[in-house]
Structure 1
C-alpha cells in the first residue's frame, strides 16, 4: 500500500454539515447489495420460462445469495484487520464481477444458484469494509449518523433497481440485467482503486491466527449487549429479506401487479427505509441511538402485528399490504443504522459481525 493511500484514524471527523466524498463512495459501493438482489426480481417469470423450471426454484436464487452473503461476511472482517480495508474490498469486487459473468451465462438453474452464491461472496466485501472504514474514522454517535446518510445514498438502489429491471428485462432479457450489474461493479472497482484511501494504520494489523479469531468471535457471542443490538438489526433484516424473496410472487402473481409496475410497489417500501434513516440522522442530534432504537423496534412490531392480524382475518388487500409493509420498512430505517452503530461500538473489533 502506498503512503498516499494511508490515512491514520483519529476518529475526529465530523459529518454534521455535509456528507463527505468518502462517505458518498462507500454508499455507492454498499448499493451493490440491494442492486444485485432487487434488479432481477421482476424477471423471475422470464427466468422460470427460459430455464424451464418452476418459479419457486428461481426464488431460491435469492435464498442462495443471502446464504453466501451471511457466511462470507465472517471471513472478510479478519482479513480486513490483517491486510487493511482496500485490498480485501478490491478482491471482493473482482470475485463479484467474475461471478456476475457466470450468472449471465448460466444455462441451468443449478448453475445460476452456484454463481449467485459466489456473487454474494464478492458482494459481502462491499458491505463489511465500508462499515469498518466508518468505524476507523468516527465515534458511535457519528457512526450512526454516517450509517443513516449512507442508507440515503444506497437507498436509491432498491427504488431504481426493480424499476430498471421491469423495463429493461423485456428489451435486454434477464441476462442483460447481470450485464448492468457487471458494469456498475466495474465502475466501483476503479473508483476504489483511485479514490478510496486506506484507513487502517499498519501498526494495527492483526495476525490471522485461527485461535485468536475464534476467541474474538466467542467473546462477541458472550457479550449480551452486542448480541442484543445485533439481533435487533438482524431479525429486522430477516423480515425484510423474507419479503424481498417472495415479493414477485405476492405482487405479480397473487395481486396481479404488472411486471413494469412491480418496481413502484417495491420502491415505495425502499422509500420508507430512506425516510426513516434520514429522520433518524436528524433525531440523533438531540436523542440517543438507544432511545431511537427502542421506539423504532416497538413501531416495527406493531406494523407486523397489524399486517398479520389483517391476513388472518382475510382482510389484507393490496392497499393494506402496502401500508403495513411501508410501516415496517420505515421502522427499519431507524433500526438498522442505530443497531449497527451500537453493536459496532461495544468492542474495539472492526470485524464485528455485520447486521446485513
Structure 2
C-alpha cells in the first residue's frame, strides 16, 4: 500500500483544501443555468430543481455513514476511486443531456463527493496534531464557504459564453487534474485501521440521534441553511424570468448570498466569548422582525433590489446562527467526534434539501411575495426549534451539575 510521503505533505495538504469545497462547487456552479437547462431539456423547471435535491440528499445521507467506512478501509484508494467516478459522472451529464440520466449522475456525484470530502477532513486528523491541527481545522468553514461565493459567478459567465454543459465539463476536467496530482503526491494517511463492528456502530448512532440537544441542533442548522437552498433554487427564475436579467446577475446575487453566509460565520467567531443563547435568541428575534418588515414592504413594492436587500440580510443572520449551533454539535460528543462530524455535516444537507424542495413544491415560489412568506414560515419554525434546543441544553446542564454534586458528596 502507498502511504503518504512526508516530503510531499505540503502539496497533499493544499490538495485537501482544494477538495473540501467540492460539494458546494458541484451544487452552486450550475444554479445560473437552471432556466436554460429546463428550456434545453424541454422539461418543467421543477424537474431541473430535483437534480439539486438528489445531489444534496445523496451527499447528505452518504456523509452519515462514510466516516465508519473510511476508518475501516482507509482514505487514499477510496478517494482515488471517487475522483474517477465523479469525473465520469460529470462528463456523462454534459454528453448525454437527458433528465433521467442527469438524475442518476447527480446521485453518483453526491456519493462520490462525500467520499472525497469526508476523507480529506480525516486526512488532517491523521497527519497533524495539537496546535497545527487546530489551525487547519479552523480554516475548514472559511474554505468551505468559498464555493457558494465563487461557483455561481463562474457558472453565470460559463452559461452566457458556452452554455450549461460547460459547467459539468469544468467539474470533470477539474477532477482529472486533481486526480493526477493525487496519484503523484498523496498516499494513505490512516495508519491504524479499525475493525468494522456493526452493533457498536449502531449503538453510537442511536445514542447521538436520541439526544435531544443534538438532534434539535441538526434541525436548527438544517433550517438555517434551507433559507440559502431555497434562494439558490428559485433565484434564477425570479431574476432571469420575472425581472429579465442575465444569468451573470444571478451569479452575482449568489455571490452576495455566499458572502453574507461567510460574514455571519466570521461575526460569530468574533463573538465567541458571548453566551450561546444570548447570541442565537437575540438573532432569531431580529430575524423575525426583519421578515415581518419584509412581508409589509414586498406586499406593496417589488424589484430585484428589495429581493437582494432583504434576502442577503436574512442569510447573514442565518449564517451567524448556523455557525454557533454547528460548532456546538461538533463538540457535543468528543469521544465519537468522527461520527458526530458525519451526522452534523450530512444532517445539514438532508434537512435543508427536504425542507427546501418540499416548500418550493408546496408553495410554487415564483415571486418575491411568496418567497417572503416561505422565509417567514422557516424562521418561525427556527424560532420554535431554538426554544426547544435551549430547554434541552438547560436540562442537560442541570443533570450534569447534579451528577457532579453527587460525585463530590461521595468523595
TM-score normalized by the length of structure 1 = 0.81
The CA deviation at 1:67 is 1.7
Query: What do residues 194-242 of structure 1 show as CA deviations (whole Å, max 9, x unaligned)?
Result: 455655441xx33223323222211211233432433332332233222
**Aligned partners of 2:29 and 2:155 also within 8 Å:** yes
Question: In 2, distance between residues paired with 1:86 and 1:33?
Answer: 18
Question: In 2, distance between residues paired with 1:139 and 1:238?
Answer: 34
Match of 1:28 among 18, 32, 37: 18
* Partner in structure 1 of residue 223 of structure 2: 235
Q: Where does 1:129-278 land on structure 2 (aligned, <5 Å)?
A: 129-134=119-124, 137=128, 146=136, 149-196=139-186, 198-202=188-192, 205-278=193-266
Give the secondary-structure state (helix, strand or coil) at the position aligned to 2:195: coil
The CA deviation at 1:68 is 1.2
- Gapped runs of 5+ residues in structure 1? 8-19
* Partner in structure 2 of residue 303 of structure 1: 287
Query: What do residues 130-155 of structure 1 show as CA deviations (whole Å, max 9, x unaligned)?
Result: 44345555679x75x75552333333
Question: In 2, distance between residues paired with 1:124 and 1:280?
Answer: 27
Question: In 2, distance between residues paired with 1:297 and 1:183?
Answer: 45
Question: In 2, distance between residues paired with 1:177 and 1:237?
Answer: 24
Question: In 1, distance between residues paired with 2:53 and 2:13?
Answer: 29
Verify: 1:99 aligned to 2:86, yes or no: no
Question: In 1, distance between residues paired with 2:87 and 2:138?
Answer: 27
The CA deviation at 1:297 is 6.3
Query: What do residues 164-203 of structure 1 show as CA deviations (whole Å, max 9, x unaligned)?
Result: 222222332211210111122223334444455655441x
The CA deviation at 1:253 is 2.3
Query: What do residues 309-333 of structure 1 show as CA deviations (whole Å, max 9, x unaligned)?
Result: 5236614643333233222322344
Q: CA RMSD in A?
A: 3.2
Structure 1 residues 3 and 43: CA distance shift in structure 2, 3 A = closer
Give the secondary-structure state (helix, strand or coil) at the position aligned to 1:208: coil
Verify: 1:46 aligned to 2:30, yes or no: no
Which structure would you say has the larger Rg? 2
Paired residues, number: 337
The CA deviation at 1:82 is 0.7
Match of 1:108 among 83, 98, 113: 98
Verify: 1:348 aligned to 2:332, yes or no: no
* Partner in structure 2 of residue 327 of structure 1: 313
Query: What do residues 251-305 of structure 1 show as CA deviations (whole Å, max 9, x unaligned)?
Result: 2223333222111111011111222333444444xx27xx357614642563365
Structure with bigger helix share is 2
**Aligned partners of 1:37 and 1:62 also within 8 Å:** yes
Give the secondary-structure state (helix, strand or coil) at the position aligned to 1:207: coil
